[in-house]
Structure 1
């Protein structure tokens, strides 16, 4: 088999393709690497895909649309080392019967772990008290922090990340409400969560975590009205996409110092230097690092290779992304 690695040469490529992963990859067939320190142009991609059976892509890769794959008559598998494939895999690609795989499910677990860290860090006020000690102070006899145990948690969106998060929250005995228009009764029962409206979640939940896909219909889904409903000392976490929340309205509400937020994503990234989110003391601002952690990257690539081997020998490919799911993912 002929395999194309389209990911640009550099440090990111090295984290996905470790020495061990490369040795495993070589067992699949002949490998063509992108040896440039940039992505292929659409024209270059179109030509290099000729006679390739498998294409392994990374973040920032050109979309495999009708023009790019027109000459890729042998292409059988697209394996994306990222999560969402909405900006990589076109409808035409799916319609040609090309198997689409991605690291989405593996990344989802890592992001859920990140959300747990954000919850605990914020509730325990770890950053505040760390700064107090570093600056030569100590806690007062009367101090304030909170536990995650027995809290009411609201989830906006119930995809793979939110499902992993529910499992991770089980030992904390949290009462979980979920807003998702596509949530079935079967799924509700399976995960032991309660279906709720957005208004119910924002009015009744101590912790609110955003997990919706970012599409035109979810742009500013979380508006000023909903943000004004967050209870005093509540906690809002966003590891989805910045555009899901009306950021200007969020800043206005946060300035009232009524609730806290942990933000991993923003409407404009990198976050502008003059953004008030950089200075608000009730906000923990993370530069889009909720997941996956760097050490999980090679694990993703290894699992993609395992899935390719299984599929090519007639077996299952658990990391497969269906057309309906792939086209509904966040379009980055």
Structure 2
């Protein structure tokens, strides 16, 4: 079998592949060149440089696996790969320690002005008083995102005798106690922390999680760190906070655009910046290369993949019957997670009718992936979703009933914590996905890219003003469903819209008399 390595990969990874297969290393290929070449290969190993587009996938007649030596898979057309039965894997843990260590290094460099002092001394100056620093001992570190890397950062900061505040919607008090951290909201961290570091994936919920409002709450001595993803911290707001001395400093390794062009803070003296070096250690590069090589070796030799991003390895005869329900389960999971206020402790997945008689293990994985990816982003896959849920003490319950009601099959996903819950039910009608119930109220809705779901009082002059607000902002409504209850009862309205709706517009809708709440669901 033949393996194409199209980005720079460590020698150890290439050597491991060469023990089993015919390996060609050919970097810097254009899309046309890759399309012409890919048909001869059984596996493709990449980093961030190669774009695995739908055209490339279409030309890949022999390809069985794409391996990404790293975490991010934004440069791979995963739906196209899944449709063609090509497994996509990554290496989510290979650079974990390197990223955690770089975060600590950035924090200490910022606290002691090491880059600025180095530049000054090399310029022939001796400016000891100018570069007065601060100790981290006894200071409070706020960690936003307490996944693998965030937890490693917290552990190392505790070794420096720092106090740890942490925000993570999936971490409960028992897990926080185990890690030795105090749970807090983002705004509470902004008010109390001396140093703040972010370790979340970049999702709709985490984009600009530190923005002007949060910087206004911070101490003038506060310092922020981002070694996770560009865009988690609003770069314009950060630049203004640094220029106006609202905060004391920032240490940034990742940027919205890389390399950063016209970035508002890169040239500021109170900013420490590095060119995305979080995973740039010899050990991390070897780890991710070897990890992906082992995945490729396993799959091409007929074995399983450990870090699958998609799930095309189901037998073709099974896939043909459950494929629509895989998509349905993940879609419902994503939708109900976006509708849920706050975190949750229990995920219940109920199958009814014909689908209950099938092997639903993959459907449950798809549902769980959909639920978790809203907060965790692309790092959630079919393999790690159960372990992520377990690590956050989220109980997962599956139930089946072959009793047929209105539809031959249905899937219901319910999230709950204490007395608060959200549920959504869907079905497949002639391969089309339908949402047929939200919180027990009947609807008939085709899931679309953007949907507004609101709770309101069933009385005149509620729906019309909402539609007028959307019309005033030139947002087209392509579908509408309203639950039926008695007059003045609480019901649901679901609108399919053709474009994203800003938080400001949603807030206008929430202020319509009779509207209880309104949320945007992005699928």
TM range (shorter): 0.7 to 0.9
Normalized against structure 1, the TM-score is what? Answer: 0.80
| 1:270 aligned to which of 259, 266, 291 | 259
**Superposition deviation, residue 168 in structure 1:** 2.5
Q: Deviations over 1:171-219 (max 9, x none)?
A: 1233222223333556434433332211011111111012222234433
Q: 1:2 maps to which residue?
A: 2
**Superposition deviation, residue 114 in structure 1:** 0.7
* 1:81-160 matches, cutoff 5 A: 81-94=69-82, 98-134=86-122, 135-137=124-126, 139-140=128-129, 144-160=132-148
**Superposition deviation, residue 160 in structure 1:** 3.1
Q: 1:229 maps to which residue?
A: 217
Determine helix, strand or coil for the equivalent of 1:244: coil
Count of aligned pairs: 316
Whole-angstrom CA distance in 2 between matches of 1:263 and 1:225? 19
User: 5+ residue gaps in structure 2?
Assistant: 312-368, 380-523
Determine helix, strand or coil for the equivalent of 1:201: helix
Q: Deviations over 1:85-133 (max 9, x none)?
A: 1332513434666443223311222111111100111112223443454
**Superposition deviation, residue 71 in structure 1:** 5.5
Question: Quick check: 2:39–2:61 contact (8 Å CA) kept in 1?
Answer: yes
**Superposition deviation, residue 24 in structure 1:** 2.5
Question: Quick check: 2:238–2:265 contact (8 Å CA) kept in 1?
Answer: no
Question: Quick check: 2:95–2:287 contact (8 Å CA) kept in 1?
Answer: no
Question: Quick check: 2:235–2:263 contact (8 Å CA) kept in 1?
Answer: no
Is structure 2 residue 241 aligned with structure 1 residue 253?
yes
Q: 2:65 maps to which residue?
A: 77
Q: Deviations over 1:119-155 (max 9, x none)?
A: 1111122234434544342535x98322222321112
Whole-angstrom CA distance in 2 between matches of 1:52 and 1:271? 35
Q: 2:29 maps to which residue?
A: 39
Whole-angstrom CA distance in 2 between matches of 1:316 and 1:279? 48
In the superposition, relative to structure 1, how do residues 56 and 187 fare at CA in structure 2: closer, same or farther (>3 Å)?
A: farther
Q: 1:10 maps to which residue?
A: none
**Superposition deviation, residue 260 in structure 1:** 0.9
Whole-angstrom CA distance in 1 between matches of 2:286 and 2:69? 9
Question: Quick check: 2:143–2:154 contact (8 Å CA) kept in 1?
Answer: no
Q: 2:21 maps to which residue?
A: 29
In the superposition, relative to structure 1, how do residues 193 and 31 fare at CA in structure 2: closer, same or farther (>3 Å)?
A: same
Normalized against structure 2, the TM-score is what? Answer: 0.53
User: 5+ residue gaps in structure 1?
Assistant: 8-12
Whole-angstrom CA distance in 1 between matches of 2:169 and 2:141? 18
* 1:58-69 matches, cutoff 5 A: 58-65=47-54, 67-69=55-57
